[in-house]
Amino acid sequence: MPEAATHVGSGKVRELYELDDDRLLLVASDRISTFDVVLPTEIPDKGRVLTGLSAFWFARTREIVPNHLLALRADGRSTECRRLEMLPLECVVRGYLTGSGWKDYQATGAVCGHRLAEDLRDSDKLPEPIFTPATKAQEGHDENIDREQAAELVGQERFDEVEQVSLELYRFASAYAAERGILLADTKFELGLDEEGQLVLGDEAFTPDSSRFWPADEYEPGRPQPSFDKQFVRDYCETLGWDKTPPGPELPDDVVAGTRARYVEAFERLTGLDFDAYLADPNVVLG
Ligand code: Q0N
C-alpha cells in the first residue's frame, strides 16, 4: 500500500490517495464490474493493463491537451498525478450509437441536443462523432445533459474548449485503434484545471473501463455489439439467471483466464508492445 498516503476517494475499481498538496496517487485494482456490479472474483493484471493503456494514450495526446500524469510506479498499477480542480462534467464522445445514447435516440430522436437522422439502428456509426456531456452522479447513473445545461455548469467559453478538446482526443484515438482492429464506440474523459486555469486531462484515458471497445471484425450494426474485454463475463453471467443485483457471482477459472487474455490482447494490439515488457518496466508505454 502507498506510504503514509491518505485515502481521498474511491471508484468501483480504483482508489485515490493524497501524496502531498499537489499530487495524488491513482491505483487501479484488478476488480471488474459487469451490469454495474463489482464481482467477487478479480481478473489478474486488469489494473496493470488499464494503467498501461491510459499512460500510453496520455503520452500520445499531450499535444492535443496536457494531462495529469507525473509518473508510473514500478508496480504498473499506480500513477502519480497532478492534483487538479475537476470540472463538474463527464465529457463523453460517441462515434457509434449505443448505450444511453441509443436509449435517448429511441425515445426522442436526439442525444444531448444532437438531432440525428431518423433511420439509425443500434450500434450504427454516426456521420460525425458527437460530444454528449453528462452530470457526475454521486450515486447511480450519470445523467445526459444538452450543451446549454453543460455550458451553465462550466461557462460557455470553457464548454466550447472542452468540446473541441474532447472531439479531437476521440478522433485521434479512434483512428489509431481502428487501424489495429478495435473500434472505440464511445469514451468518457474527466477534465480539470491546473493552478493557472489551464485545461488538463485527468482520470484515465481510452481504457476499456472508460470506453466501449468493440472487435472490428465482428462489427454488425442493427444489434448490440460484443464487448472486446467483458463479453466472456457477461455471457457467463447470462447463463446463471442472475438478476444483476449485488452480490455478483464468482467467476470460474476459464472465464477469468479468457477475460485476462482479452485485456492483454487489447493492450498489445493498441500499444504494439508485449505485455511482459510492460510488467518488466511500465515506462515502456511512454515511448
Ligand atoms: C479526481 N475523481 C473522479 C479514481 C477516479 N488529478 C486529479 N486531481 C483532483 N481530483 C481528481 C483527479 C483525478 N483523476 C478525480 N475524483 C477526484 C474519479 N476517481 C474516483 C476514484 O478513483
> What spacing in Å lies between the alpha carbon of 78 and ligand 1's midpoint?
13
Say how far apart CA 149 and CA 142 lie, in whole Å: 14
Residue 85 CA: which ligand 1 atom is closest? 9
Instruction: Find cell 485545461 and name the residue.
Output: 199
Choose one of 190, 204, 209, 210 to mutate for the ligand 1 pocket test, by most ligand atoms within 8 angstroms of C-beta.
190
Choose one of 10, 13, 16 to mutate for the ligand 1 pocket test, by most ligand atoms within 8 angstroms of C-beta.
16
pTM score, two decimals? Answer: 0.97
Regarding the beta carbon of 27 and ligand 1, being less than 6 Å apart is answered no
Q: What is the pLDDT along the chain (287 residues), one digit of tens a residue?
A: 556 689 999 999 999 999 999 999 999 999 999 999 999 999 999 999 999 999 999 999 999 999 999 999 999 999 999 999 999 999 999 999 999 999 999 999 999 999 999 999 999 999 999 999 999 988 888 999 999 999 999 999 999 999 999 999 999 999 999 999 999 999 999 999 999 999 999 999 999 999 999 999 999 999 999 999 999 999 999 999 999 999 999 999 999 999 999 999 999 999 999 999 999 999 999 99
> Taking the CB of residue 230, how many other CB atoms lie within 10 A of it?
22
Residue nearest to atom 2 of ligand 1 (CA): 203
Residue 203 CA: which ligand 1 atom is closest? 14
Residue nearest to atom 6 of ligand 1 (CA): 83
> What spacing in Å lies between the alpha carbon of 16 and ligand 1's midpoint?
7
Say how far apart CA 146 and CA 111 lie, in whole Å: 8
Helix 46-60 / helix 253-271 crossing angle, nearest 10 deg: 10
Regarding the beta carbon of 68 and ligand 1, being less than 6 Å apart is answered yes
Give the phi and the psi of residue 18 in degrees, each rounded to 5.
-90, 125
Say how far apart CA 210 and CA 50 lie, in whole Å: 10
Instruction: Find cell 477475460 and name the residue.
Output: 259
Q: Which amino acid is at 115?
A: R
Q: Which amino acid is at 255?
A: V
Residue 200 CA: which ligand 1 atom is closest? 6
Q: Which amino acid is at 261?
A: A
pLDDT of residue 138: 81
pLDDT of residue 1: 55
pLDDT of residue 14: 98
Backbone region of residue 240 per phi and psi (left: phi > 0; alpha: psi in -120 to 50; beta: other values): alpha
pLDDT of residue 102: 98
Regarding the beta carbon of 86 and ligand 1, being less than 6 Å apart is answered yes
Residue nearest to atom 3 of ligand 1 (CA): 203
CB 68 within 8 A of CB 82: yes
Classify residue 171 by burial, with Cβ atoms within 10 Å: 0-12, 13-18, 19+: middle
6 DSSP β-pair partners = 18
Regarding the beta carbon of 16 and ligand 1, being less than 6 Å apart is answered yes
Choose one of 203, 204, 209, 210 to mutate for the ligand 1 pocket test, by most ligand atoms within 8 angstroms of C-beta.
203
Quickly list DSSP for 144-157.
Answer: B--HHHHHHHH-HH
Choose one of 82, 86, 204 to mutate for the ligand 1 pocket test, by most ligand atoms within 8 angstroms of C-beta.
86
